[in-house]
Amino acid sequence: MRAIDYFDRGVELDPDRIAIQEGDKRISFRALQELTFTLAAALRANGLQRQETVAVYAPNHWSVLVCLLGLWRAGAKWIPVNARNALDANIQYMNYVRNSWLFYHSQYAKEAMELKAKVPSIRGVICLDRADDGHPSLEDFLKDGEGRPVVDESDEFGNLEDVVGIFPTGGTTGPSKGVNVTNLGWGTMQEMAANFWRRDTAKPVLLVTAPLTHAAGPVSTAMLSIGATNVIMPGFHALEVLENIQRHKVTHIYVPPTALYALLDHPRVREFDYWSLKIMLLVGSPVSPDKLKLAVEVFGPCMCQCYGQVESPLITTWLPPEVVAAAAAGDHPERLKSCGKATYPVRVGIMDDEGNLLPPGERGEIVVRGALVSHSYFEKPDATVEARQFGWHHTGDVAYRDADGFFYIVDRKKDMIVTGGFNVFSAEVEAAIMELPKVMECAVIGVPHDKWGEAIKAIVVRASNETIGEDDIIAYCKARLGGVKAPKSVEFWDEIPKTASNKLDKKLIRARYWADTDRNVH
């Protein structure tokens, strides 16, 4: 089916149930569906063509879901834009995918104007919350669609090859690659997620704290397909999350491990009632086993994990709440380190560099095949071929599988750091630091961090007779790359160790910081 068909299926469950709640704002499933038809009609009336690209640049706001569902109703492609990224990175990506339409919130008006100026393919701009600088508000723009029909252009299979969105994945020294996610892959993800997360609740309530324009978007749309009310928070604030779980009788919440750690660390965490929780989903990076065990004690048997990446999204493997609870109670406690078993629509294997699938217990790269695997990289056929060697998609993650089929991630084949749930390639940070004339050499790695999972650390060799400090390098990277990709710390060494081929010996460097751990992810 099409992405929008899953939402329509959720509407049919109970049209009068509240779909979106944000403060005093409440929108029923029926009203939300009507908004999506009106927005799709307005987009088409203003010249949007089928499979054109549409970006949404906003904080968490009810209108983000209206835009996502409306653009899919119109047959467009979603271009996810993370406002936490450096603006230059977003400009690069939007130029790469030739983005055509931009919805933005007035909170980001300045950035939106720069995007419009530097992305010449943008020809339609709408401000979500008010008229701004000659651009109509969403409310005014919707008037162009009132009373206009929306032609159903689906075929009997649900347009399986149409692209739902071009999703960015981490870049190295250049722009991010765009992943073409089709209705086939998206629908497979949505069906698996809905079936695994449904549990035994008749009236699901999802608390949305993570960015809807990032990973929370797919989670929210999957929950809408099973009739869930989405209670939207503007962002993550630990005490407000704890209060809202009790206030709204929240059944589902998605958090990266860093947010879980903040919740557990809050002095009032044990003051609230979490009886309603069925699913607290951890995604984005491995979680500390000790903290996962503590989370079961605090929040109950609702903790679960899944593993995926944009190319095999969200739910390639699944570790359900009952397995986590049993492990926390002492039944196979090692499974607190696992990311779960392969889900139904994929085969997941462990492969060596020669293309051989490895038996249980042996370490190699996680490879995936099946309907969940995304179609291709946008206009990068060589990268697509490289990632699909031996007839499998290669994830770049190193793991092993135990005799019972549980997977355990232990390292990353790709030189990537996962910090706070975000992927950062070290080469991109190294390239920025090397732009500084006072730096002769640098290596960037991830080191264990209680809050972020991994923190970005730069090892720097100063140029001869030059002085440059930690604060100078961090400030430059924040301005150049954004706060997520900037190092959290800098150390100055006289020289950086090299391999026999004169490459930076990252394995040796990392060993200094990971020596006391049993895996090279955190």
Which bin fits 11, alpha (ψ -120 to 50), beta or left (φ > 0)? alpha
Kindly report, residue by residue over 327-373, the tens digit of the pLDDT.
999 999 999 999 999 999 999 999 999 999 999 999 999 999 999 99
Which among 35, 434, 344, 69 has a CA at the least distance from the CA of 224? 69
Specify whether the CB–CB gap between 99 and 23 falls below 8 A.
no
Q: Tell me: pLDDT of 522 over 80.
A: no
Per-residue confidence (pLDDT) for residue 358, from 0 to 100: 98
Stronger pLDDT, 250 or 396, i.e. the higher one = 250
Are 62 and 48 in contact, with CB atoms under 8 Å apart?
no
54-79: average pLDDT: 97
Residues above pLDDT 90, as percent of the chain: 76
**pLDDT over threshold 90, residue 134:** yes
pLDDT at 93 over 60: yes
Q: Is the pLDDT of residue 55 over 80?
A: yes
Domains of the chain: 3-235 (3.40.50.980), 417-514 (3.30.300.30)
Global pTM value: 0.85
Tell me the three state secondary structure of residue 152: coil
Closest CA to 465 of 489, 492, 438, 443: 438
- pLDDT tier for residue 500 given thresholds of 50, 70 and 90: low
Distance between CA atoms of residues 260 and 446, nearest Å: 20
What is the reported pLDDT for 499?
67
How confident is the model at residue 172, as a pLDDT? 36
**What pLDDT shows up at residue 520?**
63
Q: What's the mean pLDDT when you consider all of the chain?
A: 92
Cα angle, residue 168 at apex, residues 163 and 173 outer, rounded to 5°: 140
Q: How far apart are CA 431 and CA 414, in angstroms?
A: 17
**pLDDT (tens digit, 9 = 90+) per residue, 153-170?**
999 999 999 999 999 986
Q: Given pLDDT bands bounded at 50, 70 and 90, which one contains residue 502?
A: low
pLDDT at 174 over 50: no
The least confident of 232-241, 445-454, 477-486 is 445-454
Residue 73 token pair: 């109703």
